[in-house]
Amino acid sequence: MSNKHLQSSNITAQNQLIQWINEAGMAEGTKKVNLLRKVIEILLHSASQMLPVYMENILSYVSDKSNDVKKQVIGFIEEISKLHPQYLPKVIGQLRLFISDTVVAVQKRAIQAASIVYRKTLLWICDTSADLSEMQLVWENLTQLKLMVLNMIDSDNEGIRTHSIKFLEEVVLLQSHGEGSSDDEFCLDDLPTNLPFINRRALEEESEHIFKLLVKFHNSQHISSVNLMACMTTLCLLAKFRPKFMPRVIQALGDLHTTLPPTLSQSQVNSVRKHLKMLLITLIKHPSSIEMMPQLTQLLIDIGMTTQEINKVVPKERRNKRLGEIKNGDTPSKRIRVDSPQSNSQGSDSNSRSDFIMFEDTTTSEPSQALPKPNVTEESVLDGLNNVEIVVSLVTATLVNCLPAEMPANFVDLYKPIPNSGSKAQKKNLAKMMLALIKEEPIATSSVTKPAPPQSAFSDIAAKIPLLRDDDEKITLKNAVAKLQESTKADRQVESAVSKLMEETRQEHLKEEERKAKEKEKPIPPPTPTVPKLKQKVKLLKLQEITRPIPKEIKERLLKQSVNRILRAEKESAIGGVAHIRAKFITIFASSYTPEIRELVQNYILEDPLSRIDLALSWLYEEYAFMQGFNRHPVTLQPKLHEKHDQNYSQLLCVLITQICERGDPIMENNRDVLLRKIYSEAPVVTEEAVDYLKHLVTEEKVALVALEILEDLCLMRPPRAHKFVAALVCHVLNENEEIRDITIKSVLKIYLQGSEAVKRVIEKHAMLYLGFISLSSPPQELLTHRHSTRTPWTDELFKMCLNLIMALFPYNEELILEVARVYGCAGSDAKRVVLRAVEGPVRSLIAAPDASESTDRTGPSEHEGRTDGQLRPAFRALLEECPRGAETLLTRLVHIFTEKAPPSQELVSRVRELYATRVSDVRFLIPVLTGLSKKEILAALPKLIKLNPVVVKEVFNKLLGLQNPNEESPIDPVELMIALHLIDPSNADLKYIIKATALCFGEKNTYTQDVSICYCIMLSLI
């Protein structure tokens, strides 16, 4: 009862799915999206067994105009990767199309789904037992998809960049070693090593390269705040899950703290610093950050956190451990500062100006070198920097002693102004850096605090300070001087602007005074009496009243002349660089105005079609836009509503094709093939009329082969309409020209192997139609189209023409043998004879090369067992079970072919025995399986077998005596066979047949030797 209920519910769900799919194909807008969402929900969760059937319907919306529909398809692909990853080979290519979509919203959704699909694909590769070629196909598509997203990190759209960062984060996590992460987390170690297309070392190197790219993008000076915070989050997540990245991530965050991008506003700077603080607190809580605690602590202090606040966020067990080390007298080893000369010599590549500790120095330093002298402190240097006189003196000494005579060529490009110049934090950092440089010099504290004497002292110090490397990456005295120069320059600009403004104001005042003086000197005329005027209404100018309309004939003539001038200005437009604008005008005129204009443009194109074919294609696309309703021209340029746009497009396409083929110009004859290929391959839509004309061209001797090639290209290059184009190609397998027939069959087989299910059904339908012709009493009209006689009898050639296609398809779809048997039973004797000869080649090729059928057989390779050990094929098994009436001889011939090189299986022997007992009375049906019958059955059939043709009797004896196949064991030996022949009752077989059979045995002297003869003679005497 439950099974019946389940079956009815499945049927109901399938009917509902079909209804929704049909409605979605006709709907638009939100309704279409909702219907598609329902279909996807049912397929994924309620009726997943119907997923292979209706998956193509969902994927057909890849090129839909609606962005919401595309997003639904992307979500479908994402869910497929989660719930049914075995279908990834069918959907991964569609995701690549969405990544390269022109709509930003679709691209972002596709990148978002790609992160999940990438992870699920790796899990599928690890766990699946799918075909290796399918896994390699998915991996190649995934690699190309990964490269596309990697290039999108430089996209102009901010959202695409953000989604690309998150995708690359997933790639780095999945392609790097786990380093003790949780067992549930996937990493590079989980990938199998036995797959030839996966190189784990290359994947690890790729993840390292992507990580460096993310760090470089993070340190970019023109990054937006949104991308910056997304990249910060990504780097911190990578540091948490992959501790090997922790030092470089902390280094990058330190560089960011001291060198924020100059394009950020103050509010964005505050947001970035707040986000940075939160991420650092998260990192300091992570167990892997214990080695980087000094750097993290210094960073948090620079951001503004106090020591007490930092201690609160540090885990309790880590604080207790640190306290125990201090109590036991263990002091941390000395660390080198990033901005010190030692660290600078290590060649750091970052643009950091930070002063936090980066690398731990394991070497032991002397106390005198480890600490600065007690008379110079950071506070004393900071007090000196707050003194203007000391700073001016120090800058002057630096300019004299350290500045080169000429400005370096790269100084303008590399110099970056200090963003927080003059602030307390900047002065504090500068004091730390100066202290690191001068800590070896014996300077008294008092020399800094007194105003007058320190000038010379600091001058001497400045003269001894070495120049730092990477001037654009470190806060040096040169940058401080540049900042002072900028402020002085700004003051001078303000003073200049104020003085200029005052001078302009003074000049305006003088001009005004001069004008007033001139007005006073003018004589005042005597007043004249004024008469009040009547109000007059202003008459408006109406263009229609003062102009006459141009007659229609004149307008058409002027328009024609204008278009003609534009057509003849081809060289001038090319010289002026406006050829594309001219082409646009011509296509608009041709598609929007009178038939005379259309004819004018058409004749112009056909004058030199080879050089003007692009203009013809542009015109075709313009007509296609009108036909589909895509045009956006003004109302005056649009065709009238009563015009049929599809007819205009079809008419133009057919005119171009027919004129190219039928004009007798030598130029046209030489370039005809090229032009035909270009039009058919690049036209937006190939109409039925154009296909019919192409079908007609196959009958023309000069262009027949070209027309066949174009038909093949249409079927392969336009898959959505291939099932319509293939009908025009497959009909030529009945062509009277043998060369055309052979080329057509090869093309049809190629399309059959690469085409969709709809294309295969069309080809099989035509093959079965032509097969059915052989059962007719006379040849049909399709075979006599180009023959004069209407009452032509059947010939072997006509029979072969009808069988060519289905016999060519048989190695790739063996189920067609059932249709051959069905028609064979209804056909005449001549047709049966041709079928028996024609079927041998395909069946033998199927046995010799089974992989060809298994690769395209829709029943799947799992149903095909061994082919060389006599096992039955599914189609042959079905033919044995339900053999049509009249097809027994065909079945006998097939059994002969299947048992030529392999002994019959028990299943085959059982089926043949059953058919012989119930339906087939001809003893010849038993010959292929004689070696599989029992001794009793062979002896019972022997009287009938010896009555057959001597050639057949000899074949029977060869089988029984093991002469055909030495490896085949016979249930009867030569002695028993000879005794059985002598014991045959003459009433069952005439004596002459027995004598002939005995003579055949004696003819095999290698088998019936003297010893064998003595043996059966003795046994006969005993009977």
DSSP letters for 127-159 = H----HHHHHHHHHHHHHHHHHHHHGGG-S-HH
Which residue has tokens 């049927």? 11
DSSP 856-871: H-TT-GGG---SSSSP
Please give the backbone phi and psi of residue 730, each rounded to the nearest 5 degrees, phi first. Answer: -70, -20
Q: Specify the range with the lowest mean pLDDT, choosing from 149-153, 280-284, 710-714, 982-986.
A: 982-986
Tell me the pLDDT band of 519, cut-offs 50, 70 and 90.
low
CA distance 294 to 310: 11
Helix-helix angle 645-662:609-628, to 10 degrees: 160
Mean pLDDT across 242-248: 90
Best mean pLDDT range from 86-90, 508-512, 935-939 = 86-90
| C-alpha to C-alpha distance for 161 and 58, rounded to whole angstroms | 29
What integer pLDDT is reported at residue 471 of this predicted model? 40
Residue 553 has pLDDT above 90, yes or no: no
- Dist CA 620 CA 622 (whole Å): 5
For residue range 330-379, list pLDDT tens digits in order: 444 433 333 333 333 333 333 333 333 333 333 333 333 333 344 567 77
**pLDDT more than 70, % of the chain:** 76
- Read off the pLDDT of each residue in 1005-1009 and give the average, rounded to a whole number: 72
pLDDT digit string (tens) for 277-331?
999 988 888 888 888 888 888 888 888 888 888 888 888 766 655 544 444 444 4
Is the pLDDT score of 929 beyond 50? Answer: yes
pLDDT of residue 761: 92
Cβ atoms of 960 and 930 closer than 8 Å? yes
User: What integer pLDDT is reported at residue 638 of this predicted model?
Assistant: 53
Instruction: State the distance between the two ends of the chain, measured CA to CA, in whole angstroms.
Output: 67
Q: Is the dihedral of CA 864, 865, 868, 872 positive or negative?
A: negative
Q: Which H or E run includes 358?
A: strand 357-360
For the segment 584-595, what is each residue's pLDDT rounded down to a tens digit?
A: 888 888 888 888
Is pLDDT larger for residue 855 or for residue 767? 767
Q: How confident is the model at residue 520 (pLDDT cuts 50, 70, 90)?
A: low
CB environment 904-925: b (16+ within 10 A), e (fewer): bbeebbebbbebbeeebeebbb
CA dihedral 698→700→703→708, nearest 10 degrees, is 10
What is the rounded average pLDDT of the residues 762-783?
90
pLDDT at 596: 87
CB 813 within 8 A of CB 764: yes
Length of the chain, please? 1023
Amino acid at residue number 486? E
CA distance 973 to 971: 7
Residue 790 φ then ψ, to 5°: -95, -10
Cβ-count burial of 944 within 10 angstroms (0-12 exposed, 13-18 middle, 19+ buried)? middle
Query: What is the distance between the alpha carbons of residues 811 and 119, in angstroms, rounded to a whole number?
Result: 40
**pTM score above 0.95:** no
CA 121 – CA 28 distance, rounded (Å): 34
Q: Output the CA angle 706-711-716, nearest 5 degrees.
A: 125
Mean pLDDT of the chain: 76
DSSP class per residue in 660-696: HHH---HHHHHHHHHHHHHHHHHSS---HHHHHHHHH
Q: Is 653 helix (H, G, I), strand (E, B) or coil?
A: helix
Distance CA 778, CA 792 (A): 7
CB 796 within 8 A of CB 834: yes
d(CA 457, CA 331): 36
Domain boundaries, the chain: 276-331, 375-492, 935-1023
